[in-house]
Amino acid sequence: MNRLHFKSTHLVAALLTAGLIGGVGVSAVRDMAVAHAQPTVAAQAVAPATVTTPDFASIAARQGAAVVNISTSGVQQTADEGDDAGAGAPMDPSMQDFLRRFGLPPGAFQFAPRGGPGAGAPVRGEGSGFIVSPDGLILTNAHVVRGAKAVTVKLTDRREFKAKVLGRDDKTDVAVLKIDATGLPTLALGSSQALRPGEWVMAIGSPFGFENTVTAGVVSAKGRSLPDDSAVPFIQTDVAVNPGNSGGPLINARGEVVGINSQIYSRSGGYQGVSFAIPIELASHIKDQIVAHGKVEHARLGVTVQPVNQAFADSFKLPRPEGALVAQVEKGSAADQAGLKAGDVILRADGQAIVDSGDLPARIALARPGDKLPLEVWRNGRAEQLTATLQGAKGKAETVARADGAAHGKLGLALRPLQPDEKRQAQVDGGLRVEQAGGAAAAAGVQAGDVLLSINGQPATSVEQVRGVVAKADKSVALLIERGGQQLFVPVPLA
């Protein structure tokens, strides 16, 4: 089936794209004939308006030294003889995730094993990043270093350093690395809020392994919400971004970083004119938490919202179809304690207008647990003011994975118990929510947000119970998954 997919620009990096387009205004002179022998009057000529492009060459020369190439490596167990993977070694979860995001089957590529069945096979990936402090602090995407056993950073002067991953946040796809070096060139951080659609921007990165590739384009839109369960208000551009550009900087005409290139929208797996970057303000917010605490705490309001269309606006007597319509309020949440109700329309949060429903989680993403969030809501035909004290995100998920390295491998799911409101919403009595999917389960089609109802016919009651079933399984397990109100069995081979 021919479908559009959002793609994470992971591993290998982009071909050099040149071709900056400048426009020149055209003046026209019209003669007007006036009837009844009146004199002819010539219209005044309009002076040509010259549109110039930024000096990208100077920006690249000045800022390119602070952009780095990131390579990752690890070891993955090879397939047993007779396994469906064939003669090649199976890929690590990050490569499988990469292929799946680009619409390719997990078996599209295989690494040739260096030994017999069970021998370790090398897996490698590449991405980009940029230096934000002279002592070696580097920003990149979380998916660039996810699952990596070793991370190497290569500078433009060809020096290489082993990097330590200080932390990563999968929810926003931001990671922070540290290398042991001083006196390094850095990139100045700008403001994504000041960007305007149509403004020139450029990217520097390592698409398809071609280091320090420069591409340019314009800002297409801001505050884009993507259907990937993230709370990132993405910057959309038409800058050529390809696999390997992930983690590299998006730079404005003043040479300041305004975003981190993260995703593309594509049918083919390559650039097709639509790219997305994480706003630098959000990335800096995540970086500061990782550097200070080694982890990220996400604030939570506790509402389910949906867009306001014209029909809703007419029904609620709103002057315009804007805001976030509250469909559900979680009992005991920050929203509940603040007095929010289903049917409220959130018009402003923290003083910022909520035009689309996706603007609300984007604002909350910049807050921390304990912060007070002023809200303007539309209720019963008039605006009211409320204040919510944001709570922390739900408990950290536990990862279901075998630690003994047995032949049947691991399941690769991060699970947590369902909250009461989630049970009601999914109309189930029990089960576990899939927070993250990787490894064999992800390759079989299990996704974050699914509800695991049973495993091998046994109800999924706890993380430990699932772990025990996996431990006793031989070659595969059968998972009963609830997704979007539908139930389906997913067979997961464990070899």
Closest by CA to 176, choosing from 205, 140, 128, is 140
Q: What is the pLDDT of residues 356-407, one digit of tens each?
A: 888 898 888 888 889 999 999 999 889 999 999 998 876 444 444 322 222 2
Tell whether pTM > 0.75.
Answer: no
State the catalytic residue, choosing from 143, 285, 298, 408.
Answer: 143
Looking at the predicted structure, is the pLDDT value of residue 108 above 60? no
| Residue 433 CB neighbours (<10 A) | 21
Question: Which tokens sit at 304?
Answer: 């389910």
pLDDT value for 476: 73
Q: Lowest mean pLDDT: which of 66-80, 121-135, 226-240, 401-415?
A: 401-415
Q: What is the pLDDT of residues 301-332, one digit of tens each?
A: 988 888 888 888 888 888 999 999 988 888 88
Q: The tokens 């996400």 sit on which residue?
A: 298
143 an active-site residue?
A: yes
Q: What is the pLDDT of residues 167-198, one digit of tens each?
A: 999 889 999 999 999 999 999 999 998 999 99
Q: Which amino acid is at 96?
A: Q
Q: The tokens 């990563």 sit on which residue?
A: 168
pLDDT band at 153 (very low <50, low <70, confident <90, very high): very high
Complete domains list, the chain, with CATH? 1-18+56-294 (2.40.10.120), 299-392 (2.30.42.10), 398-493 (2.30.42.60)
Closest by CA to 111, choosing from 152, 146, 77, 70, is 77
Give the phi and the psi of residue 252 in degrees, each rounded to 5.
-85, 180
246 an active-site residue?
A: yes
Question: Which tokens sit at 466?
Answer: 């699932």
pLDDT value for 271: 78
Question: Which tokens sit at 390?
Answer: 């944001």
Q: What is the pLDDT of residues 20-60, one digit of tens each?
A: 223 223 333 333 333 444 444 444 555 555 557 889 999 99
State the catalytic residue, choosing from 169, 173, 344, 450.
Answer: 173
The answer to whether 489 and 478 are in contact (CB under 8 A) is yes
Q: What is the pLDDT of residues 251-282, one digit of tens each?
A: 999 999 999 999 888 777 777 889 999 999 99
State the catalytic residue, choosing from 230, 246, 333, 357.
Answer: 246
Closest by CA to 443, choosing from 54, 106, 86, 58, is 106
Dihedral over alpha carbons 478, 483, 485, 488 (to 10 degrees): -20
Query: What would the mean pLDDT of 78-95 be, rounded to a whole number?
Result: 38
| C-alpha to C-alpha distance for 432 and 443, rounded to whole angstroms | 19
Q: Partners of 488 in the beta sheet?
A: 481
Query: What would the mean pLDDT of 456-462 be, rounded to a whole number?
Result: 84
Arithmetic mean of pLDDT over the chain: 77
The answer to whether 218 and 237 are in contact (CB under 8 A) is yes
Who wins on pLDDT, 105 or 489? Answer: 489
Question: Which tokens sit at 235?
Answer: 């910057």
pLDDT value for 264: 86
Alpha carbon of 106 to those of 59, 217, 493, 494: distances in Å?
39, 33, 13, 15
